[in-house]
Amino acid sequence: MEIWLDTAKIEEIQEAISWGVITGVTTNPSLMMRAGTTDLKTNTRRIAELVGGPVSAEVISDDAQGMIAEAKDIVTWSSHVVIKIPITVEGLKAIKVVSEWPARVNATLVFSANQALLAAHAGATYVSPFVGRLDDAGHDGMEVVREIAAIFEMHDITTKIIAASMRHPRHVIEAALAGAHVATVPYKVLQSMIYHPLTDVGIQRFKADWEQALSSKR
Ligand code: E4P
């Protein structure tokens, strides 16, 4: 399972790239706002240059014609760009058109396996079930990922599953076990994936023992 970063903040992306673990980035209007930018084109291009892999940029129109017009512009920003389209009836119409250009579409705001199935049939390259937001609403978000993975596998559907709205490191493990192809994680979650107190304790112990070994030779 690939790890993508769920952020529009350049410093976080640069840092995560230096770790050698991320292969893509997802953004959305809220993440752009949190990154303090309204220049979506410049920021998306910069992210694409840095990551050299898929970068999702989201349309904000409500109607298919508006989404398609936005997508027409967004695809010119970078060959790495993936058009993020919400899974509504208008979104489906837009996914069908945009996927045929050809361009890659990430169907976003997916909260059920039915939505994922429809997005796949309309031509989406990716579907993004929002695990954390489902959990927040009292559902089992990961169960939706499991259902989508089982249905896609059973029916030879090649659309890839991006486990989104990851809230904690355990979500990432569960997404991998559930069959997601990608987990898109906030920088904070990525940081907590690497941290373990026993690793720190182990390093300290090895250092102390080595110091003791050296001093006994002196
Ligand atoms: C996915 O592509 C979205 O950008 C993201 O995962 C949403 O997560 P949130 O529920 O933490 O806003």
The encoded tokens of residue 208 equal: 């102390």
CA of 4 from ligand 1 middle (Å) equals 12
The residue nearest atom 8 of ligand 1, judged by CA position, is 165
CB 164 near ligand 1, within 6 Å: yes
The residue nearest atom 10 of ligand 1, judged by CA position, is 165
Provide the strand spans (E) within 51-121: 55-58, 81-86, 105-110
d(CA 105, CA 85): 7
CB 28 near ligand 1, within 6 Å: yes
d(CA 29, CA 59): 9
Per-residue buried b or exposed e for 75-113, using 16+ beta carbons within 10 Å of the residue's own CB: bebbebbbbbbbbbebbbbbbbbbbeeebbbbbbbbbeb
Taking residues 205-209, report their average pLDDT: 98
Least-confidence region, from 36-40, 59-63, 168-172: 36-40
pLDDT band at 185 (very low <50, low <70, confident <90, very high): very high
Taking residues 73-90, report their average pLDDT: 98
**What would the pLDDT profile of 123-134 be if each residue is shown by its tens digit?**
999 999 999 999
Residues 125 and 156: beta-carbon distance below 8 Å: no
pLDDT for res 163: 98
pLDDT for res 41: 96
CB 26 near ligand 1, within 6 Å: yes
> Is 13 a residue whose pLDDT tops 90?
yes
CB 184 near ligand 1, within 6 Å: yes
pLDDT for res 217: 86
CA of 37 from ligand 1 middle (Å) equals 18
d(CA 142, CA 126): 17
Give the list of residues 6+ apart from residue 121 with CB closer than 8 angstroms, or none: none
> Is 72 a residue whose pLDDT tops 90?
yes
pLDDT for res 218: 81
